[in-house]
Structure 1
Amino acid sequence: MAIHAPTVTQKHLAVLIDADNAAAAIVEGLFEEIAKYGVANVKRIYGDWTGPQLGGWKKVLLDHSIQPIQQFAYTKGKNATDSALIIDAMDLLYTRRFDGFCLVSSDSDFTRLASRLREEGLTVYGFGEEKTPRPFVSACDKFIYTELLRGEVLGASSNGHDRPEPESPAEIETVNVASAPEAKKLPKAPVSFIAKILDDIADEDGWVHLGALGTNISKLRPEFDPRTHGYKKLSELIKGYPDTFELQTRGTSGVGGSVLYARHRQPGL
């Protein structure tokens, strides 16, 4: 009897880009990142295309099949682009054809839009610079800093055992990655924060499925991304702190596949 692989249903996503608050340099990384979460069925970008300020975006629209939406600036100092994007988002929402939205902007004006979309049960992925106001970041299910998409956070390493552990989740001091002396300084990983989540959702033996850990981290900190701290994946970050965390592989590489579990090493064990 033939064994058929399980069908994977991808999310249908609408990508809405605020051209006034997003750089064209992110376009390659942006759609590579979006492909991890689903299929971009709608790709629209909003701005005043009559001026020269969006020249960078004009060069890449056709290559990525992004539909430009013209929005004139009716009054100086007023951002009509935001209103056009929000109206389109609501129109698309009521078609009930989408599982999620990708909002690309560093503008906090989209905070209420993100909240409204989530109220309807849709997943909201935010993309913006590190300067993005906290309310917009928190309103999204997942928020990706666009500096990562431009490769500005460098020095990703697969081991990272030389990274010192932070004293608290709020600590913002930075450390250099020893394996890449020329790399940009990276913020310390929120080790204590991750450890607390592990303790909160662990089974009787202290283990947590790595996927569940990542989901719970994103619920509390939508902006969390291992790449910000120099790791490609959450599993690599966990491995990077062997004195604090333990990683275990269960299952085989066969049909069922293997899964990863993490555990917080308790002091003295």
Structure 2
Amino acid sequence: MYQDNKIALLIDCDNVSYKSIEGVIDELSKYGKVNIRHAYGNWKSESMKGWEEKLHPHAIKPIQQFAYTKGKNATDAAMIIDAMDMLYTQDLEAFALMTSDSDFTPLVMRILSNGITVYGFGEKKTPMPFVKACSQFIYTENLEETDETEEIQGEANAKKNRNQLRQDTGLVKLLRTAVEHSADENGWSHLGRVGEYISNKTSFSPVNYGYKKLGELIRACELFQIEMKHDNSVMYIKDIRKS
């Protein structure tokens, strides 16, 4: 059960904005409990003020890292060392790395080799090797808190419409392939199995397209015939080209 999963959240405060931390924690709550919450950086720096205000409300433990040598990133080293310690001393089902730095790509691959899930959260500037290495990656701009007056407009701007989704050839290919490989003899695919196939192959998340759930994105793209079963609680889909 997801609710019992233990997750360690490690935050590289030098390379990601504090504005999305609420969204990150909310997203991780779908997959389990964030038992460990560590934020790394030089807390004596003025640039950390925004992050400092987020520590207490979200029970995040600050880990102090001094810049001993100019040009050397002590934060990266501390996060990597702590992650490896946790890998062997903590009973964790997943790690969440909040960073836009591709230097953590080898760490992600090492954690994955132990059969542990890695959720990545970073800004849109994050290099693709890190994005693709994660089990799932979400751009933090899609999770940033907005003013109440801007909330509706912000959601509209973030959500991709039917035409935009269809013009994304990589997305269309991924969805069609997942449905094809998950289909029964009649061509129908259980949405849960489609999601499992996608998560085993890529770092895809519907959040990056403005949708909270895969089913919402499936409805929006209008590429599949949809049938609800089991008292309207389970979605089955079929490629409209084969209907």
Tell me the equivalent position of 2:66. Answer: 72
Tell me the equivalent position of 1:203. Answer: 184
Tell me the distance in 1 between the aligned counterparts of 2:165 and 2:70.
49
Tell me the equivalent position of 2:214. Answer: 234
Q: Is the 8 A contact 1:12 1:99 kept in 2?
A: yes
Q: CA deviation at 1:247?
A: 1.3
Tell me the equivalent position of 2:225. Answer: 246
Corresponding letter in the other structure for 1:76:
K
Moved more, 230-239 or 32-41: 230-239
Corresponding letter in the other structure for 1:91:
D
Tell me the equivalent position of 1:169. Answer: 169
Instruction: Give the number of the structure with larger relative contact order, counting CA–CA contacts within 8 Å between residues 6 or more apart.
Output: 2
Tell me the distance in 2 between the aligned counterparts of 1:91 and 1:142.
23
Task: Pick closer, same or farther for the CA change 1:34–1:94 going to 2, 3 Å.
Answer: same
Task: Pick closer, same or farther for the CA change 1:165–1:39 going to 2, 3 Å.
Answer: closer
Question: Among 2, 8, 25, which residue is 1:14 paired with?
Answer: 8
Query: What TM-score comes out, normalization by structure 2 length?
Result: 0.88
Corresponding letter in the other structure for 2:237:
A
Q: CA deviation at 1:221?
A: 2.8
Aligned counterparts, 1:16-55, within 5 A: 16-55=10-49
| Structure 2: segments with no counterpart, 5+ residues | 147-153
Q: Is the 8 A contact 1:156 1:227 kept in 2?
A: no
Deviations 1:103-131 (A, max 9, x none): 00000011011111111111100000111
Tell me the distance in 2 between the aligned counterparts of 1:74 and 1:158.
43
Tell me the distance in 2 between the aligned counterparts of 1:119 and 1:62.
34
Corresponding letter in the other structure for 1:155:
A
Q: Is the 8 A contact 1:169 1:192 kept in 2?
A: yes
Tell me the distance in 2 between the aligned counterparts of 1:56 and 1:266.
50
Query: What TM-score comes out, normalization by structure 1 length?
Result: 0.80
Corresponding letter in the other structure for 2:169:
P
Q: CA deviation at 1:141?
A: 0.6
Task: Pick closer, same or farther for the CA change 1:24–1:121 going to 2, 3 Å.
Answer: same
Q: Is the 8 A contact 1:238 1:246 kept in 2?
A: no
Task: Pick closer, same or farther for the CA change 1:33–1:167 going to 2, 3 Å.
Answer: closer
Question: Among 85, 90, 99, which residue is 1:91 paired with?
Answer: 85
1:75 alignment partner, SS class: coil
Task: Pick closer, same or farther for the CA change 1:159–1:48 going to 2, 3 Å.
Answer: closer
Which structure: greater helix fraction?
Answer: 2
Q: CA deviation at 1:158?
A: 9.8
Tell me the distance in 1 between the aligned counterparts of 2:2 and 2:126.
33
1:103 alignment partner, SS class: strand
Tell me the distance in 2 between the aligned counterparts of 1:33 and 1:214.
16
Deviations 1:144-183 (A, max 9, x none): 11011116863179995x536635614xxxxxxxxxxxxx
2:126 aligned with 1:110, yes or no?
no
Corresponding letter in the other structure for 1:264:
D
Identical positions, percent: 44
Q: CA deviation at 1:249?
A: 1.1
Q: Is the 8 A contact 1:158 1:236 kept in 2?
A: no
Question: How many residues get paired?
Answer: 236
2:142 aligned with 1:148, yes or no?
yes
Question: Among 97, 122, 127, which residue is 1:133 paired with?
Answer: 127
Task: Pick closer, same or farther for the CA change 1:143–1:167 going to 2, 3 Å.
Answer: closer
Moved more, 87-96 or 210-219: 210-219
Q: Is the 8 A contact 1:46 1:85 kept in 2?
A: yes
Tell me the equivalent position of 1:56. Answer: 50
Tell me the distance in 2 between the aligned counterparts of 1:83 and 1:169.
38
Q: Is the 8 A contact 2:10 2:38 kept in 1?
A: yes
Corresponding letter in the other structure for 2:186:
D
Corresponding letter in the other structure for 2:187:
G
